Amino acid sequence: MINLTTTYLGMRLRNPVVVSSSPLQRDIGNVHQMEDCGAAAIVMHSLFEEQIDVETHALNRWMEQGTGSYAESLSYLPDMESYNLGPEGYLEHLLRVKNSVGIPVIGSLNGVSAGGWTRYARMMEEAGADAIELNTYYLATNPEITGTEIEKMYGDLVTEVKTSVGVPIAVKLSPMFSSMSNMACGLDKVGVKALVLFNRFYQPDFDLEKLEVVQSLELSQSTELLQRLNWVAILFGHIAADMAVTGGVHSGIDVLKCMMAGARVAMMTSALLKYGIDHISRVLDEMRDWMEEHEYESIREMQGSMARRSVADPSAFERVNYMHVLSSYALKHDTRGW
């Protein structure tokens, strides 16, 4: 009997497949289907920092500054009256979801500053969240802000939220740090229980006919998984925090790769948006078939087996591999005949 169980954030899960934060979770019927199809846990759609600010009128004041000269600037931000569910609606929905499913439910806070976050983190815990994921999404567009300041901001945020709740805290990071290893170790030291690698930045596109900047959203593809696998494999064994992979997880094979790199869970959303929520069942079947064929009895025995510290040639994760790959590609495509 294949054993797919794993642990994440101190919770025993029936398998490593977790549904990552997305608008799908706004429909409680979708959440029930996720559980029925085998999802081990779900991360709720995010409560955004901007929504919290609107409740205290802070963002409204900021938005109104200078709009006499730049009225079009109001169109750059969503209408907060209809955006998502709002803080109170979010918490009510979280409570309903938690009371109607048997799998762990993880709340999600999206932003980067501290302050009012602690209050809503506590409210999520009171509503029944088994853990809280801090979905950090910050673009450092101000050239006056240093990398050190940004890293401190992340650390302060985690520390403040962590001290305000009793449930475990996970942090969803972007890959855009000058020293990812140091950043991960720093968050590990302040007590984060899991790192989710990596957040996807949504880049605007240019409409050259209208000369406008337009919103662009592309679903992830399996090719994006490589960056995640690389960093999980490098960090495995260096931090006590669990690791989750998100972005590019589409198949059972993708999930198994995440496990071998050293992750505890693999999160997916784009695949469900593409193929439907019942795709979870197909992913789990593919995992079982592969494990049976290759004589793996459990997820646990494969976790970290392909991490940097476990493989025979760790140079595959280092600069020397960069040179080997470029050199081998050039030789394969050499048209000179010698």
Distance in angstroms (rounded) separating the CA atoms of residues 47 and 64: 23
Encoded amino acid at 97, one letter: V
What the chain holds in terms of domains, given with CATH numbers, is 6-46+84-308 (3.20.20.70)
Beta-carbon contacts of 21 under 8 Å, excluding residues fewer than 6 positions away, are 43, 44, 45, 46, 108, 133, 135, 172, 269
What letter would DSSP give residue 145?
Answer: S
pLDDT of 190-243, one tens digit each? 999 999 999 877 777 888 999 988 876 677 788 899 999 999 999 999 999 999
**How confident is the model at residue 70, as a pLDDT?**
36
Query: In the structure, what pLDDT confidence band is assigned to residue 303 with cuts at 50, 70 and 90?
Result: very high
Q: Identify whether the C-beta of residue 19 lies closer than 8 Å to the C-beta of residue 42.
A: yes
DSSP 301-332: TTTTTTSTTTSS-GGGGSHHHHHHHHHHHHHH
pLDDT of 25-81, one tens digit each? 999 999 999 999 999 999 999 887 666 655 544 444 433 444 443 333 333 334 444
**How confident is the model at residue 20, as a pLDDT?**
96
Neighbours of 261 (CB within 10 A): 29
Neighbours of 191 (CB within 10 A): 14
**How confident is the model at residue 78, as a pLDDT?**
43
**How confident is the model at residue 115, as a pLDDT?**
62
Residue 117, phi then psi, degrees to nearest 5: -60, -40
160 pLDDT above the threshold of 60: yes
Worst-scoring range by mean pLDDT, 145-159, 168-182, 301-315?
301-315
**Nearest one of 122, 135, 120, 115 to 45, comparing CA atoms:** 135
**Nearest one of 164, 52, 43 to 98, comparing CA atoms:** 43
**How confident is the model at residue 332, as a pLDDT?**
59
Residue 250, phi then psi, degrees to nearest 5: -125, -20
319 vs 155, more confident: 155
Distances (CA, A) of 203 to 109, 218, 270: 21, 9, 17
pLDDT of 244-293, one tens digit each? 999 999 999 999 999 999 999 999 999 999 999 999 999 999 999 999 99
Strand partners, 246: 267
pLDDT of 169-189, one tens digit each? 999 998 888 899 999 999 999
**How confident is the model at residue 50, as a pLDDT?**
65
Helix/strand/coil for 300: coil
Distance of CA 326 to the CA centre of its chain: 31
Find tokens 């198994």 and name the residue. Answer: 256
Distances (CA, A) of 41 to 37, 114, 131, 176, 316: 11, 27, 11, 27, 33
Q: Which of 87-96, 99-108, 153-162, 195-204 has the highest mean pLDDT?
A: 99-108
Rounded mean pLDDT of 112-139? 83
Strand partners, 18: 41, 267
Worst-scoring range by mean pLDDT, 1-15, 83-97, 126-140, 274-288?
83-97
